[in-house]
Amino acid sequence: MSLLDVSGLVVNRAGVGVVRGTSVTAEAGQISVLLGANGAGKTTLLEGIAGIAPVAAGRVVLNGADLTRASPGDRARAGLALIEQGRTVFARLTTEENLRVSMDPETGPENAYALFPELRQRSGIAAGMLSGGEQQMLVIARALLARPRVLMIDEMSAGLAPVIVSRLMKAVRRLADEGMAVLLVEQFASLALAIGDRAYVLRRGGVVYEGGCDTLARDPERLHHLYLGDAPVGRGE
């Protein structure tokens, strides 16, 4: 069984099925990449898993424990973390004060600084003064200090230069290599597929492709058609 096992999830918005019987998994030490066009239902799926959006059917199971009816807080305590789309830093607090919000006082911010040495150099500066890329590093660092078992990240790359996005992707890969399970929603499909293990393509709330990231990375034509919706539903290796 997978560390995170989401099966047959249904989330309705204003009476309409936005996530329609969707199943995804995340494994310790691996990155599951969730792709799909704007409006495909990626954010809503993560919100259903995190307990922010009401789930009409299906199950969310973490390490064998059924969390489908658990509150968002209980899910977080069970080890499920979501970095929401557009999540920002506390602008008036310093970088280190931002980290203190979620860090264990025993271990301190060291794990965050090990992942992003840039943040150590900026530790005493108001977070609002950091560059966009540094702010996103801080958002990720803050989440990792809470030591989640599963980290869900919704579009960390919005508005950032590709070179910064690559830097963030490498950091996410390192988190997975250290044992975290990552569920990554990303618009830069090729960058995400390059660091991911398992790929899902979502269209109109349903999975139209599930398979290895490498298989999809080698076939950009197919990915293009999956986004457009004129490729057959399928599986990869």
Ligand X SMILES: Nc1ncnc2c1ncn2[C@@H]1O[C@H](COP(=O)(O)OP(=O)(O)OP(=O)(O)O)[C@@H](O)[C@H]1O
Identified binder of ligand X from the candidate list 4, 6, 9, 18, rule CB under 6 A: 18
Q: Which is nearer to ligand X, 43 or 135 (CB)?
A: 43
CA end-to-end span of the chain, whole Å? 19
The 8 Å CB, 24+ separation contacts for 61-66 are 61/1, 61/4, 61/5, 61/6, 61/7, 62/3, 62/4, 62/5, 62/149, 62/150, 63/3, 63/149, 64/1
Q: Tell me the per-residue interface mask from 100 to 139 with Mg ion, x by CB under 5 A, - otherwise.
A: ----------------------------------------
Identified binder of Mg ion from the candidate list 2, 43, 135, 157, rule CB under 5 A: 43
User: Could you say whether residue 36 binds ligand X (CB under 6 A)?
Assistant: yes
Give every CB contact of residue 105 below 8 A, 6+ residues apart in sequence.
Answer: none
- Say if residues 192 and 198 touch (Cβ distance below 8 Å): no
Phi, psi (rounded to 5 degrees) for 83: -95, 110
> Residue 226 touches which of Mg ion, ligand X, none (CB < 5 to 8 A by kind)?
none
Q: How far is CA 46 from CA 18, 33, 34, 230, in A?
A: 12, 12, 10, 25
| Number of residues binding to ligand X, judged by CB under 6 A | 11
User: Cβ 137 to Mg ion, closest distance in Å?
Assistant: 21
Name the one range near ligand X by CB under 6 A: 20-28, 32-40, 56-64, 67-75: 32-40
Q: How far is CA 72 from CA 45, 49, 127, 144, 235, in A?
A: 14, 9, 26, 17, 32
Name the one range near Mg ion by CB under 5 A: 24-32, 41-49, 89-97, 219-227: 41-49
User: Cβ 17 to ligand X, closest distance in Å?
Assistant: 9
Q: Which is nearer to ligand X, 9 or 40 (CB)?
A: 40
Neighbours of 27 (CB within 10 A): 18
User: Could you say whether residue 13 binds ligand X (CB under 6 A)?
Assistant: yes
> Residue 133 touches which of Mg ion, ligand X, none (CB < 5 to 8 A by kind)?
none
Q: Tell me the per-residue interface mask from 38 to 67 with ligand X, x by CB under 6 A, - otherwise.
A: xxxxxxx-----------------------
Phi, psi (rounded to 5 degrees) for 174: -65, -40
User: Could you say whether residue 20 binds ligand X (CB under 6 A)?
Assistant: no
Interface ranges with ligand X (CB under 6 A): 13-14, 18, 36, 38-44
